[in-house]
A and B are shown apart, each in its own frame.
With several copies, the nearest count.
Chain A
Amino acid sequence: MSQPGAMRSEAGAGHNAAAELLALYRSLVLIRRSEERLSRMFADGEVPGFIHLSIGQEAVSAGVMSALTPQDTIASTHRGHGHAIAKGISLDGFFAELLARDTGLCRGRGGSMHVADMSVGMLGANGIVGAGVSIALGSALAHKTQKNGAIAVAFFGDGALAEGLMHECLNMAALWKLPLLFVCENNGWGEFLPTSKQLAFTLKDLAAAYRIPHVVIDGNDVAVVAEHAASLVAEVRRDGPRVLECMTTRVRGHFEGDAQKYRDPDELAGLSARDPLDVTAGQLKALGIGESALADIADEIAARIEAAVEAARAAPMPSFEAAQADVYTVSNAARENA
């Protein structure tokens, strides 16, 4: 999934740019269609619990992840599907987890808010606003201590900026020059209230206070995200923390089932003009990629998703005994052997 030689807009058109943009587009489509599929299954009662979709925000995930290596780690949020998929977790494991199966990434114990795949450096979605940022901080510290050349990425929403933990982490990352990229998905909302009513500051000004270089970009244009992510990731690897603020759009409400009655209908209607998939499809067309290439991607991804859904449906439910035995690494062995 990762794209080591990331997209540069100035790199000129031609084959390379088109191929890179197409790879990014594929990532966008994979996230979008996966979440749309989940949305339908949620409505049908097949997906339990709460789910928070990243529809409208996919370009952040696809773009940032294109700049990472598999050794790089990320910590995510309650709205983590896009991050997880873009980081390259197993799609089968993802759907199986959302359907609470034993074959799920977390064996049905975590669900949407806890999707994780340590094997690809995805340290977990998180049900606690802000908590993932400190986990990414620790991961960055581990990379630095181990001198392994990897970086960590902390994803968080604009609402999370009000959490004290966020600030503690900004300070520590700056103080210790940790290889940590802060990525804010600024969708203008924290649950049901605009973040303008929650925050008396901008991330730009805050980052300036911590002397962490900050860039704010259009988070719905994956080419833009990928380009900035690539250069910031290189800076982070070399020099220490950076902040990437992505202006983006929360399309489907805070969680599935949220009718967003509190939002201006015009604003909601206007969101489609910034749809990340449409934006990128338009750019691809301009680069000469035809409808049929996009249709091929759509078909291929639809098939992958259906296969994952079917595999999940066929998979067994988790066993209670196995779950109970996994609270500790060696369950009570010290006690029994000693």
Chain B
Amino acid sequence: MAEMRYLRAINQALADAMAADPSVILLGEDVGEAGGSFGASRGLRDRFGAERVIDTPISEAALAGAAVGAALSGLRPVAEIMFMDFTTLVMDALVNQAAKARFMFGGQRSVPMVLRTPHGGGLGAGPQHSQCLEAWFAHVPGLKVVCPSDPTSAYGLLRAAIADPDPVVFIEHKALYAMKGEVPDDAPLLPLGRAAILREGRDATIVAYGAAVHTALAAAGQLAEEGIEAEVVDLRSIQPWDEETVLASLSRTHRLVVVHEAVEAFGVGAEIVARMADIGFDELDGPILRVAAPFMPVPFSKGLETAYLPSPERVAAAVRRTLA
């Protein structure tokens, strides 16, 4: 049992995966000598060599395309894109190549690659270094999308993503990198597509993922003081997502609020709500509400950014509203 930070859990998962499987390689800008812009691959080049921990030029499209080609040719590449905002440059490799190769070639071969990238605001990094774009990838058949909320799940999900035969977009939250948590020495792989109930409650279900899980937990704490018991579901995987767990929770609480940091309109929450408005309709005793970012770019100024990000207060208010 070791306490470690989220960033270190990522690093440990990369190291353990590389030690276990020689076909795992890392590639990305500054992942090698510098150990990653945020430090996720620190020490790995020294340990596994420059042939397996590859510094690329500033050529996102080619490095992502190369990951696809390498995955089709026997490797398990883990590519890093420094900020999720820069995934705008790798959409073709992910969407038209990685996601479709298995299907469009008739199931001949899998594409076992992972694309790691951090999303999210809170650092005053401004409109082009803070976006949460996971809804794009969740909409693409053939991709899997994962977003852990703490060190334990970061470790377990990253190991599972690397072991997975299909392309996985693995999303980290920059503001969680410093968060501490327990990661046992032989921590298990966590199955993709499986949610976790982090707090039980009978009055309402709050579904969240990534950093927003902590916003949801804080809201649940506030609500408990008023006697409202909210259940908090950490989705962990966004595609596939665990609709059974969400439905089961909704069937107990009959109220649903979905929380994320991405823009609300056409975001991940929309799918969760839409699905529950179909298969969970008869369980609903109140409107399904979303708490997410407003329809604007992520602003630079601290004050604006704070107002932009979902807060425990807004989540608690939404729970109260659906209970009203």
Is there direct touching of A and B in the complex, by C-beta distance under 8 Å? Answer: yes
Is A327 in contact with B295, judged by CB distance below 8 angstroms?
A: yes
Is B105 in contact with A114, judged by CB distance below 8 angstroms?
A: yes
Q: What are the residues of chain B within 8 A of A138 when measuring CB–CB?
A: 65-73, 77
Given the known interface contacts A136-B69, A323-B103, A326-B107, the answer about A172 and B57 at a Cβ–Cβ threshold of 8 Å is yes
Given the known interface contacts A138-B66, A329-B165, the answer about A127 and B301 at a Cβ–Cβ threshold of 8 Å is no
Is B65 in contact with A48, judged by CB distance below 8 angstroms?
A: no
* A108 to B242 CA separation, bound complex (whole angstroms): 31
Partner of B105, one of A106, A133, A139, A337: A106
Chain A stretch 307-338: residues in CB contact (< 8 A) with chain B: 317-318, 320, 323-324, 326-330, 332, 334-335, 337-338
A158 to chain B, nearest CB (A): 10
B90 to chain A, nearest CB (A): 10
Given the known interface contacts A109-B127, A334-B192, the answer about A146 and B75 at a Cβ–Cβ threshold of 8 Å is yes
* A160 to B93 CA separation, bound complex (whole angstroms): 16
B21 to chain A, nearest CB (A): 13
Given the known interface contacts A138-B65, A318-B303, A335-B191, the answer about A114 and B126 at a Cβ–Cβ threshold of 8 Å is yes
Q: Which of A191-199, A266-274, A285-293, A294-302 contacts B (4 or more CB under 8 A)?
A: A191-199
Is A106 in contact with B106, judged by CB distance below 8 angstroms?
A: yes
B147 at the interface (CB under 8 A from A): no
Is A262 in contact with B72, judged by CB distance below 8 angstroms?
A: no
Is A131 in contact with B301, judged by CB distance below 8 angstroms?
A: no
Chain A stretch 121-149: residues in CB contact (< 8 A) with chain B: 123-124, 126-131, 133-146
**Residues of B contacting A: mostly:** loop
Partner of B128, one of A127, A139, A190, A334: A127
A210 to chain B, nearest CB (A): 12
Is B103 in contact with A134, judged by CB distance below 8 angstroms?
A: no
Q: What are the residues of chain B within 8 A of A279 when measuring CB–CB?
A: none
Q: What are the residues of chain A within 8 A of B302 when measuring CB–CB?
A: 48, 100
B92 at the interface (CB under 8 A from A): yes
Q: What are the residues of chain A within 8 A of B222 when measuring CB–CB?
A: none
A285 to chain B, nearest CB (A): 40
B214 at the interface (CB under 8 A from A): no
Given the known interface contacts A111-B124, A118-B109, A168-B57, the answer about A192 and B30 at a Cβ–Cβ threshold of 8 Å is yes
Contact with B along A154-174 (1 / 0, CB 8 A): 000001101111001101100
- Name B193's closest neighbour in chain A (CB-CB): A335
- Name A164's closest neighbour in chain B (CB-CB): B61
Is A329 in contact with B97, judged by CB distance below 8 angstroms?
A: no
A213 at the interface (CB under 8 A from B): no
Partner of A114, one of B56, B294, B300: B300
* A165 to B65 CA separation, bound complex (whole angstroms): 9
- Name A93's closest neighbour in chain B (CB-CB): B106
Partner of A334, one of B59, B71, B191: B191
A27 at the interface (CB under 8 A from B): no
Q: What are the residues of chain B within 8 A of A324 when measuring CB–CB?
A: 294-296
Q: What are the residues of chain A within 8 A of B173 when measuring CB–CB?
A: none
Is B59 in contact with A172, judged by CB distance below 8 angstroms?
A: yes
Is A49 in contact with B66, judged by CB distance below 8 angstroms?
A: no
Q: What are the residues of chain A within 8 A of B69 when measuring CB–CB?
A: 75, 123, 134-142, 152
Is A108 in contact with B58, judged by CB distance below 8 angstroms?
A: no
- Name A142's closest neighbour in chain B (CB-CB): B73
Is B51 in contact with A49, judged by CB distance below 8 angstroms?
A: no
* A265 to B302 CA separation, bound complex (whole angstroms): 36
A335 to chain B, nearest CB (A): 4
Is A163 in contact with B59, judged by CB distance below 8 angstroms?
A: yes
Is B97 in contact with A128, judged by CB distance below 8 angstroms?
A: yes
B25 at the interface (CB under 8 A from A): yes
Is B105 in contact with A118, judged by CB distance below 8 angstroms?
A: yes
Contact with A along B180-199 (1 / 0, CB 8 A): 00000000000111100000
* A123 to B102 CA separation, bound complex (whole angstroms): 11
* A84 to B57 CA separation, bound complex (whole angstroms): 27
B276 at the interface (CB under 8 A from A): no
Is A134 in contact with B75, judged by CB distance below 8 angstroms?
A: no
A107 at the interface (CB under 8 A from B): yes
Q: What are the residues of chain B within 8 A of A114 when measuring CB–CB?
A: 104-105, 126-128, 300
Contact with A along B65-99 (1 / 0, CB 8 A): 11111111111010000000110100011001100
- Name A124's closest neighbour in chain B (CB-CB): B105
* A105 to B307 CA separation, bound complex (whole angstroms): 21
Q: What are the residues of chain A within 8 A of B61 when measuring CB–CB?
A: 134, 164-165, 168
Q: What are the residues of chain A within 8 A of B126 when measuring CB–CB?
A: 49, 110-114, 127
* A108 to B60 CA separation, bound complex (whole angstroms): 29
A104 at the interface (CB under 8 A from B): yes
Is B70 in contact with A329, judged by CB distance below 8 angstroms?
A: no
* A3 to B131 CA separation, bound complex (whole angstroms): 40
Question: Can you report 29 residue pairs joining A to B where beta carbons are below 8 Å apart?
Answer: A50-B124, A97-B106, A106-B106, A107-B106, A110-B300, A111-B126, A116-B105, A128-B86, A128-B92, A131-B93, A131-B96, A134-B93, A138-B65, A139-B72, A143-B73, A145-B75, A165-B65, A168-B57, A171-B57, A171-B59, A171-B62, A172-B66, A190-B57, A262-B33, A323-B299, A328-B142, A328-B144, A334-B164, A335-B240
B residues lining the A interface (CB < 8 Å): 25, 29-30, 32-34, 37, 51-52, 54-75, 77, 85-86, 88, 92-93, 96-97, 101-110, 123-129, 141-142, 144, 160, 164-166, 191-194, 240, 242, 294-297, 299-304, 307-308
> Given A175-B57, A199-B57, A334-B160, list of 15 further CB < 8 A pairs?
A50-B123, A106-B104, A109-B301, A110-B126, A110-B300, A123-B73, A138-B66, A139-B70, A142-B73, A159-B57, A172-B56, A192-B30, A193-B55, A198-B58, A329-B166
A residues lining the B interface (CB < 8 Å): 48-50, 73, 75, 97, 100-101, 104-114, 116-119, 123-124, 126-131, 133-146, 152, 159-160, 162-165, 168-169, 171-172, 175-176, 190-193, 197-199, 262, 317-318, 320, 323-324, 326-330, 332, 334-335, 337-338
